[in-house]
Amino acid sequence: MAEYTRPTSEKEVAQNFESIKPLMNPTMAHYESSRCLYCYDAPCVQACPTSIDIPLFIRQINTGNVDGAAQTIYDANYFGNACGKVCPTEVLCEGACVYNNQDVKPIEIGRLQSFATTKVQQENKHLYKAGAPNGKKVAIIGAGPAGISCACELRLHGYEVDIFEAKEQPSGLALYGCAPYKITNKEVLDEMAYLQDQFEYKVHYNYRIETAGQLAELEEKYDAIFLGIGLGNTNTFKLQGVDLENCTGATEFIEQIKLKPLTTAVGKRVIVIGGGNTAMDAASESARMGAEEVTLIYRRSKEDMGAYEFEYDLAKAVGVKGLFSAAPLAIVGKEKVEGVYLVKTKVEDGKVTNEEGSEFLLPCDMVILATGQQKQVTFLEQIEGLELDGKGRIKVDENTFQTTNPKYFASGDAVNGGAEVVNACGEAKKAAQAIHQTLSN
Amino acid sequence: MPDLSSNLAGIKSPNPFWLASAPPTNSGYQIMKAFDAGWGGAVWKTLGVPVVNVSSRYAAVNYRNTRMMGLNNIELITDRPLADNLREIEEVKKYFPEHAVIASLMVESKEQWHQIVKDVENAGCDGIELNFGCPHGMCERGMGSAVGQEPNVLKTIVGWVMEVATVPVIVKLTPNISDITVPALAAVEGGGNAISLINTIQSVIGVDLDTFVPYPVVDGKSTNGGYCGPAVKPIALNMVKNCAQHPDMNLPISGIGGIENWRDAAEHILLGATNVQVCTAVMHYGFGIIREILPGFERYMTEKGFNTMDDMIGKSVNNVKTWENLNLKYKVVASIDEKKCIECQLCYTACEDGAHQAIGLKEVGEGRVPYIIEENCVGCNLCSLVCPVEECITMVRRDDGTEHETWKEYMENDKAPTTFDDDRAGGKHHWVPAPADALKKKK
Ligand SMILES: Cc1cc2nc3c(=O)[nH]c(=O)nc-3n(C[C@H](O)[C@H](O)[C@H](O)COP(=O)(O)OP(=O)(O)OC[C@H]3O[C@@H](n4cnc5c(N)ncnc54)[C@H](O)[C@@H]3O)c2cc1C
Ligand SMILES: Cc1cc2nc3c(=O)[nH]c(=O)nc-3n(C[C@H](O)[C@H](O)[C@H](O)COP(=O)(O)O)c2cc1C
Ligand code: SF4
Ligand code: SF4
Ligand code: SF4
């Protein structure tokens, strides 16, 4: 795997995490947009959770109306550039493009989307203005894709919007989670600045809403409250040895890489436990950080993994090895991680069982647990009348995104249990429209 | 926001984008759908004498991976009963009182013309368009382009219509004529209120190389049809410009031909069209293309500071001169941006074989970027047109802008050249390789 050596400068970080969807130049954008068929009731649009009018914006690029293209995109999705880069387009718009039926390369919709939105950002062309103040105020908890999208839409209608964000920067997991070879921090933050310039919502950073008292205050001061809090830290995992040094949660590890790549420690031999997209990201990123050997461990077969196939392909391409049908029994080591004790598994009647006698030790010096993120149950339980479903997700009306406490609305990961940036953006925009409707009645 | 509202000889519509008389305007259903999508007006599929259509009807030119760069059809006027069409016109106007509904007509005798004009006016149409353009089938029966090609007949029929018409009358011209201003002036003389152009151009689209039958095939035979679509825009633009420039052609123009996006529409309007009509693009992509046209056009108007359509109409007309009025002292030469060049050498072979041997290649080992031989460059643009890289070959000005001389002035001042000593090329500096040098070149 010596493909990547440990980066020792910002430049090397950038090299190791080189973009997999680099910005198109105008010639590429012209040729690619020429290929789009302008389908009727286009499948790509149907596959987009924010229903961007894809044939329209592509045709607009093709006719030299790139600003108009950006407008078409932003009208549907405020994270236009981010989504163009981080969306799993292979299973969304591009996966639905009719060219697939002909075994022809689908239109590179994501990159065209980023082409148009990057242009207006770079030229600081403002497409929106906040609506005339309507005298109403909404508090938003969380400045992730859900919170920011909700804020933009509400500002259009003239609401005063205050966002309370626990962290130092906006965009939630788009910044703290999405893989750097998909989008750079600068790209994410540029779009955030571009939006805030136009919509002028207020964000209070380093401001976690934690206590019942704070909530009561918000309830009193604001006409509605939107919960865009996403999920929490990596799930705790009952496994012997998880407290050893060099055993870490995937989201925490990735956040480190995103914020401080040069000082993030990565083992020589890394084991990643999990079969979801975050596991693939953690494995890929470890490899690009210079780990010599990265093994992905999953209890079931490769086909059963929750991760998208292309995400696994990305990991494989940087040398990650998959070890399937194997479950961890314990992490071993004195103070630091020294290996993982594993057992082979088989599936019987849909249930995974361990194969007795097949235990073996896989040495390593780092373990990354990608076993899902927690729900913020303790925090949410403080809100009176707010119901969660059995999995800790906030229950909302599917059309209005109103929670069981009528003052609160919610969307994004905290409601859908963890999906993509684009889902959070689409749902939050609708939630904002519903808030507007509710408060206007 | 610019004001897009449009007024063609008194026919008002919320925007200047109309559907041309053709299959997309065959029924009230289609026209209502189009208005709902954002189109400002529609010219109903031509109404008139009973016809029988053939099957199949269309054929197209595909250029590389672009389908339907040009479309050809052998369809006739409407084959739906007049009464149905009249009823639907009335219904559409009920739902869309602000939108323009124009009845396109084509009949034979004076009595028929009088009757049908009254019929469509009773149905509530906002205007009438006279189809003197159809270049197949109908002309064999003495209608369509058979009228459009005979200025006197055209004038007479326009006169008949004007005797009874109370709504504005648009005369639709055929491009199958050598000077479009002749029928345009006949329309003026006949008393028409506006002209529209172009109808389709006579064409044979191609031949099936296995059966030897041209397309479209009707039971082993074919016929010439009418050509339209993106390919015909340059022809249409020229004719619109010719009409717009003619001092005696004082009628407003509805521009038609090859309009697919906001740019095409803007070009027609800059060259003198008051509004535009679209057929092929809708046949290709449906009414939804208005989603692209409207915002693109609006943005353009805003960028250029046009507040109303009138600010924009005809802006380019005075920038088209006759050749004899062009400045002969203006000189440009090609210049290659070495940084942008991708080394395809298309410019070289184009200029070497197809123009003036003004591009050279470096010695082997010195790279593939060609260079311009300035003394041979006549500034024809060819290399910049074939170069696949945007802005890689640009034409740079070489005269100092102080001199201005035209052929017309030469003629008026008796200064016509008697020797081949053109300063820019061809004579003084320009050299042509010896014929036998051709055999020394690598193939
Ligand atoms: C490692 C990883 C990689 C991912 N990669 C992709 C990808 O490639 N493509 C993709 O589309 N999606 C990806 N996702 C998923 C995507 O990032 C999320 O679906 C999306 O960010 C959800 O948006 P959200 O606004 O609901 O929540 P979040 O992005 O989690 O934002 C919630 C925000 O609320 C703040 N907050 C939480 N609680 C409080 C509180 N009590 N008070 C104040 N602030 C609070 C948080 O600090 C955070 O900023 C990835 C996720 C992870 C974990
Ligand atoms: C299939 C077809 C049928 C047409 N029928 C009519 C017609 O009935 N009356 C008419 O005035 N023009 C008719 N036309 C011509 C169009 O109205 C229009 O003038 C021409 O197609 C050029 O515009 P375009 O390049 O946008 O297609 C027809 C064109 C096509 C392709
Ligand atoms: S499905 Fe593909 S070809 Fe069709 S409109 Fe969408 S991107 Fe274009
Ligand atoms: S386009 Fe419609 S009417 Fe024409 S041949 Fe095809 S199916 Fe038949
Ligand atoms: S055509 Fe353009 S890109 Fe090709 S060799 Fe000439 S200058 Fe270079």
pLDDT digits (tens, 9 = 90+) for B329-368: 999 999 999 999 999 999 999 999 999 999 999 998 899 9
Q: Which residues of A70-91 are buried (b: 16+ CB within 10 A; e: fewer)?
A: bbbbbbbbbbbbbbbbbbbbee
Q: Which amino acid appears at position B354 of this protein? A: G
Cα–Cα distance for residue pair A175/A144, rounded to 1 Å: 9
Task: Using alpha carbons, select from B109, B116, B111 the residue that is nearest to residue B167.
Answer: B116
Structure tokens at A228: 């865009």
Q: What is the whole-number distance in angstroms between the Cα of residue B384 and the centre of ligand 5?
A: 8
Residue B239 has pLDDT above 60, yes or no: yes
Residue B443 has pLDDT above 70, yes or no: no
Query: Of all atoms in ligand 1, which is nearest to the CA of residue A250?
Result: 1
Q: Mind listing the pLDDT tens digit for each residue in B264-273?
A: 999 999 999 9
**CB-based contacts of B326: which residues, under 8 Å, 6+ apart?**
B406, B407
A33 touches chain B (CB under 8 A): no
Structure tokens at B230: 């993106």
**What is the predicted pLDDT for the residue at B144?**
81
Closest C-alpha residue for ligand 1 atom 9: A86
Task: Using alpha carbons, select from A69, A98, A99 the residue that is nearest to residue A84.
Answer: A69
Sheet of strand B225-228, all strands in order from the earlier edge strand to the far edge: B58-63, B66-73, B225-228, B201-203
Known catalytic residues of B are: 134
Could you give the 3-state DSSP secondary structure of residue A439? helix
pLDDT band at B442 (very low <50, low <70, confident <90, very high): low
Task: Using alpha carbons, select from A41, A44, A31 the residue that is nearest to residue A101.
Answer: A44
Torsion-angle region of A246 (φ positive above 0: left; ψ -120 to 50: alpha; else: beta): left
Alpha-carbon distances of B372 from A44, B335, B354, rounded to whole Å: 46, 7, 15
**What is the predicted pLDDT for the residue at B113?**
96
**What is the predicted pLDDT for the residue at B139?**
80
A56 touches chain B (CB under 8 A): yes
Please state the φ and ψ torsions of residue B300, each to the nearest 5 degrees.
-65, -45
Residue A2 has pLDDT above 60, yes or no: no
Q: Mind listing the pLDDT tens digit for each residue in B261-309?
A: 999 999 999 999 999 999 999 999 999 999 999 999 999 999 999 999 9
Query: Of all atoms in ligand 5, which is nearest to the CA of residue B337?
Result: 7
Residue A86 has pLDDT above 80, yes or no: yes
pLDDT band at B426 (very low <50, low <70, confident <90, very high): low
Cα–Cα distance for residue pair A73/A96, rounded to 1 Å: 18
Q: What is the whole-number distance in angstroms between the Cα of residue A66 and the centre of ligand 3?
A: 18
Question: First vs last Cα of chain B: how many Å apart?
Answer: 58
How many CB atoms are located within 10 Å of the residue B186 CB? 25
Question: Cβ–Cβ of A63/B390 closer than 8 Å?
Answer: no
pLDDT band at B65 (very low <50, low <70, confident <90, very high): confident
**What is the predicted pLDDT for the residue at B441?**
72
**DSSP class per residue in A221-285:** H-SEEEE-----SBPP---BTTTSBTEEEHHHHHHHHHH-GGG----SEEEEE--SHHHHHHHHH
Closest C-alpha residue for ligand 5 atom 1: B387
Cα–Cα distance for residue pair B118/B128, rounded to 1 Å: 11
Q: Is B128 touching ligand 5 by the criterion CB < 6 Å?
A: no
Task: Using alpha carbons, select from A172, A152, A331, A124 the residue that is nearest to residue A239.
Answer: A331
How many CB atoms are located within 10 Å of the residue A231 CB? 23
Q: Mind listing the pLDDT tens digit for each residue in A13-28?
A: 999 999 999 999 999 9
**What is the predicted pLDDT for the residue at A17?**
96
**What is the predicted pLDDT for the residue at B431?**
83
Cα–Cα distance for residue pair B109/B107, rounded to 1 Å: 7
Mutation pick from B64, B261, B292 vs chain A, by most beta carbons of A within 10 Å, is: B292
Q: What is the C-alpha R_g of chain A?
A: 23
Picking from A27, A35, A72, the nearest residue to B390 by CB comes out as A27
Cα–Cα distance for residue pair A162/A144, rounded to 1 Å: 13
**What is the predicted pLDDT for the residue at B417?**
85
pLDDT band at B133 (very low <50, low <70, confident <90, very high): confident
**What percent of chain A has a predicted confidence (pLDDT) above 90?**
96
Q: Mind listing the pLDDT tens digit for each residue in A384-402?
A: 999 999 999 999 999 999 9
List the single residue in A with minimal CA-CA distance to B67.
A37
pLDDT band at B373 (very low <50, low <70, confident <90, very high): very high
Cα–Cα distance for residue pair B118/B133, rounded to 1 Å: 22
Closest C-alpha residue for ligand 1 atom 27: A230
**What is the predicted pLDDT for the residue at A183?**
97
Q: Identify the structural domains of chain B with CATH numbers, from first to last.
A: 6-319 (3.20.20.70), 323-419 (3.30.70.20)
- The CA-based angle A180-A182-A185, given to 5 degrees, is 45
**Residue with the two structure tokens 């980066």:** A7
Segment holding A213, helix H or strand E: helix A212-221
Could you give the 3-state DSSP secondary structure of residue A152? helix
Average pLDDT over residues B177-185: 97
Q: Identify the structural domains of chain A with CATH numbers, from first to last.
A: 21-122 (1.10.1060.10), 137-232+374-440 (3.50.50.60), 247-369 (3.50.50.60)
Average pLDDT over residues B83-104: 98
Under a CB-based contact definition with an 8 Å cutoff, are residues A298 and A326 in contact?
yes
Q: Which residues of A are less than 8 Å from B261 in CB distance? A: 59, 62-63
Q: Mind listing the pLDDT tens digit for each residue in A329-374?
A: 999 999 999 999 999 999 888 889 999 999 999 999 999 999 999 9
Residue B424 has pLDDT above 70, yes or no: no
**What percent of chain B has a predicted confidence (pLDDT) above 90?**
89
Question: Cβ–Cβ of B263/A59 closer than 8 Å?
Answer: no
Q: How far is A61 from chain B (nearest CA, A)?
A: 10
Could you give the 3-state DSSP secondary structure of residue B439? helix
- The CA-based angle B240-B244-B250, given to 5 degrees, is 130
Average pLDDT over residues B102-126: 97
A60 touches chain B (CB under 8 A): yes
Average pLDDT over residues B223-251: 97
Start-end of H helices in A25-88: 26-35, 43-47, 54-62, 66-76, 80-86
Cα–Cα distance for residue pair A201/A164, rounded to 1 Å: 11
Residue B288 is given by DSSP the state G
Structure tokens at B113: 């013309």
Residue B428 has pLDDT above 70, yes or no: no
Task: Using alpha carbons, select from A176, A190, A174 the residue that is nearest to residue A85.
Answer: A174
Could you give the 3-state DSSP secondary structure of residue B232? helix
pLDDT band at A3 (very low <50, low <70, confident <90, very high): confident
- Please tell me the total number of residues recorded for chain A in this structure: 441
Residue A9 has pLDDT above 80, yes or no: yes
Q: How far is A185 from chain B (nearest CA, A)?
A: 30
Structure tokens at A408: 């609160």
B28-37 vs B290-304: helix axis angle to the nearest 10? Answer: 40
